[in-house]
């Protein structure tokens, strides 16, 4: 995706967060470099080598939700935050995870190539094989299936309906064969006690059995499904809190800076999302001893990849009062790939908000104009649904190695990390720094900018 030319314009309104009302007298725009004087307190302290080293540590293994590797990452992140003097919390939450069974189909001593269906029953069944068409109710009327193994063709109705129809007709197991080349695996959608053991065969094997049966040959088979299970697993969020320096003079507002520490199986997740986690850690280090009047929460989420579970769990713990006080949530997800495009801010509804306004202004000051667009798919989503201004920061188009074993440290760009850390750091600091009126009135105070919408979402 190519960005259109960027035009920075001054507008006369003030930003909606952490800033006093509009300036009494508008002065001509100072150049971005002059405005950047504000940001240097943050920018000059960012050490991109620290970010890179944390990515290196975190991406030494995949960090799949609920595994020991994810827990190792959680402990590492927590130890970093506490080493900067933060109050931290490791927040556990549980989720269900399906463990696929081992399956086999044996006919006359031959074991055929077979796969399982998610949520199948376990069991070992031997019996005669009966052809049952597509296993629609119409197909099954008049077929004697009690105690038999139903041989069913893929198509027309769902796998679950095929298994249920055959089970209700008395079948003790179901073999579904493919209607195209290649192996077949699928899901029955949800657990159901009415299911019987269900396995798949290739189209070639299925058609061979079907024609043997059509010729009147008797076939008996053994279907084995073992160790399928729904497991309870635990994942964790890490929360580090920086209270306002002087509580009595605090604004009562909260800013959340987030990223997710889990990865997909088989992927070191250097960019997705060790990059966002490591950048959050570095911003926490930079801000640790800085005077601020706004509470800042650095939160890294578990189990993002399997449905934003950590961020939903976190948002659920927030009281309505806390939700009302959170003025912005900055989610950094995939912010360091040398092979991805430009930094874009995505909101769930595709509208600008306080987070995108602050960050677009910071982008102009730091020399990286930003655009925004509409996309969910990361931990900003639960915050949005809780009524909190939130945005995802991600380079788009994403790199081709996203979610592959090649999402590794060697593809990480220090320039991209630096750019993201500067923008998010400067935007957060604009709200969090003590609101000194004399600075606000000064010629170099941060000014709102206009910025463009990208159409088409994350690519």
Q: Does 333 bind Zn ion (CB under 5 A)?
A: yes
How far is the C-alpha of 39 from the C-alpha of 56, rounded, in Å? Answer: 27
Q: Least Å distance between CB 70 and Zn ion?
A: 13
CB nearer Zn ion, residue 115 or residue 398: 398
Angle (CA) 151-155-160 rounded to 5° is 70
Burial of 231: CB neighbours in 10 Å, binned 0-12, 13-18, 19+: exposed
DSSP sequence for 294-363: SEEEEEEESS-TTTSHHHHHHHHT--HHHHHHEEEEEEE-S--BTTS-EEEEEESSS---HHHHHHHHHH
Q: Least Å distance between CB 338 and Zn ion?
A: 17
Alpha-carbon separation of residue 145 from 132, 142, 168, 317 (angstroms): 9, 9, 9, 51
Span interacting with Zn ion, options 165-173, 204-212, 265-273, 277-285, rule CB under 5 A: 265-273
Q: Least Å distance between CB 373 and Zn ion?
A: 17
Q: Least Å distance between CB 263 and Zn ion?
A: 8
Q: Least Å distance between CB 310 and Zn ion?
A: 11
Span interacting with Zn ion, options 100-108, 143-151, 329-337, 357-365, rule CB under 5 A: 329-337
DSSP sequence for 104-134: EEEETTEEEPEEEEETPPPEEEEEEEEE-TT
Q: Least Å distance between CB 351 and Zn ion?
A: 22
Span interacting with Zn ion, options 107-115, 148-156, 266-274, 429-437, rule CB under 5 A: 266-274
Eight-state DSSP code of residue 136: -
Q: Least Å distance between CB 379 and Zn ion?
A: 8
Query: Of 271, 224, 267, which is closest to residue 102 (Cα–Cα)?
Result: 224
How far is the C-alpha of 77 from the C-alpha of 137, rounded, in Å? Answer: 55
Query: Of 344, 349, 423, which is closest to residue 2 (Cα–Cα)?
Result: 344
Structure tokens belonging to residue 293: 């009047």
CB nearer Zn ion, residue 256 or residue 354: 256
CB nearer Zn ion, residue 78 or residue 272: 272
CB nearer Zn ion, residue 240 or residue 392: 392
CB nearer Zn ion, residue 334 or residue 355: 334
Helix (H, G, I), strand (E, B) or coil at 222: strand
Question: Using the rule CB under 5 A, which residue among 272, 293, 399, 419 binds Zn ion?
Answer: 272
Which residues have a Cβ under 8 Å from the Cβ of 428 and sit 6 or more positions away? 255, 257, 283, 287, 296, 328, 330, 358
- Side-chain-side CA neighbours of 187 within 13 Å: the count stands at 5
Binding residue count for Zn ion, defined by CB under 5 A: 3
Q: Least Å distance between CB 269 and Zn ion?
A: 8
CB nearer Zn ion, residue 199 or residue 335: 335
* Interface positions, 139-168, toward Zn ion (CB under 5 A): none
CB nearer Zn ion, residue 333 or residue 375: 333
Span interacting with Zn ion, options 59-67, 116-124, 267-275, 321-329, rule CB under 5 A: 267-275
Question: Using the rule CB under 5 A, which residue among 70, 139, 205, 273 binds Zn ion?
Answer: 273
Q: Least Å distance between CB 377 and Zn ion?
A: 8
How far is the C-alpha of 451 from the C-alpha of 9, rounded, in Å? Answer: 8
Span interacting with Zn ion, options 69-77, 78-86, 150-158, 332-340, rule CB under 5 A: 332-340
CB nearer Zn ion, residue 273 or residue 282: 273
Span interacting with Zn ion, options 47-55, 137-145, 333-341, 382-390, rule CB under 5 A: 333-341
CB nearer Zn ion, residue 334 or residue 431: 334
Site residues (vs Zn ion, CB under 5 A): 272-273, 333
């Amino acid at each position: 995706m190519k960005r259109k030319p960027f035009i920075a314009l001054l507008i006369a309104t003030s930003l909606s967060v952490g800033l006093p009302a509009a300036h009494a007298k508008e002065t001509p725009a100072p150049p971005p470099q002059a405005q950047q004087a504000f940001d240097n307190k943050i920018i000059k302290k960012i050490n991109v080598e620290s970010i890179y080293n944390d990515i290196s540590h975190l991406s030494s293994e995949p960090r799949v939700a609920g595994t020991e590797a994810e827990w190792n990452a959680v402990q590492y992140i927590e130890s970093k935050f506490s080493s900067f003097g933060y109050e931290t919390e490791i927040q556990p939450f549980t989720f269900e995870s399906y463990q696929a069974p081992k399956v086999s189909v044996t006919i006359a001593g031959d074991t055929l190539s077979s796969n399982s269906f998610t949520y199948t029953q376990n069991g070992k069944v031997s019996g005669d094989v009966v052809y049952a068409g597509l296993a629609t109710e119409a197909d099954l009327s008049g077929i004697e299936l009690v105690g038999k193994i139903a041989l069913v063709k893929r198509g027309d109705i769902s796998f679950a309906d095929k298994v249920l129809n055959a089970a209700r007709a008395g079948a003790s197991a179901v073999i579904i064969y493919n209607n195209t080349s290649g192996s077949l695996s699928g899901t029955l959608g949800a657990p159901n006690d009415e299911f019987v053991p269900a396995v798949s065969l290739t189209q070639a094997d299925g058609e061979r059995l079907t024609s043997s049966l059509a010729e009147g040959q008797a076939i008996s088979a053994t279907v084995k499904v073992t160790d399928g299970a729904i497991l309870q697993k635990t994942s964790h969020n890490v929360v580090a809190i920086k209270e306002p320096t002087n509580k009595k003079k605090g604004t009562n507002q909260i800013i959340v800076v987030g990223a997710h520490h889990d990865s997909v199986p088989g992927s070191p997740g250097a960019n997705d999302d060790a990059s966002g986690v490591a950048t959050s850690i570095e911003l926490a280090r930079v801000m640790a001893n800085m005077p601020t009047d706004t509470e800042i929460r650095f939160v890294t989420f578990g189990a993002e990849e399997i449905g934003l579970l950590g961020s939903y769990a976190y948002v659920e713990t927030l009281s309505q009062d806390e939700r009302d006080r959170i003025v912005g949530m900055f989610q950094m997800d995939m912010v360091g790939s040398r092979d991805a495009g430009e930094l874009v801010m995505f909101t769930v509804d595709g509208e600008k908000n306080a987070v995108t306004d602050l960050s677009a202004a910071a982008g102009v000051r730091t020399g990286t104009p930003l655009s925004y667009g509409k996309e969910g798919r990361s931990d900003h989503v639960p915050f949005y649904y809780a009524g909190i201004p939130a945005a995802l920061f991600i380079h788009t188009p994403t790199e081709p190695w996203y979610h592959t074993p090649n999402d590794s440290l060697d593809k990480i760009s220090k320039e991209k990390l630096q750019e993201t850390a500067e923008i998010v750091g400067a935007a957060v600091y604009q709200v969090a720094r003590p609101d000194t009126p004399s600075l606000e009135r000064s010629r170099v105070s941060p000014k709102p900018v206009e910025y463009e919408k990208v159409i088409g979402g994350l690519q």
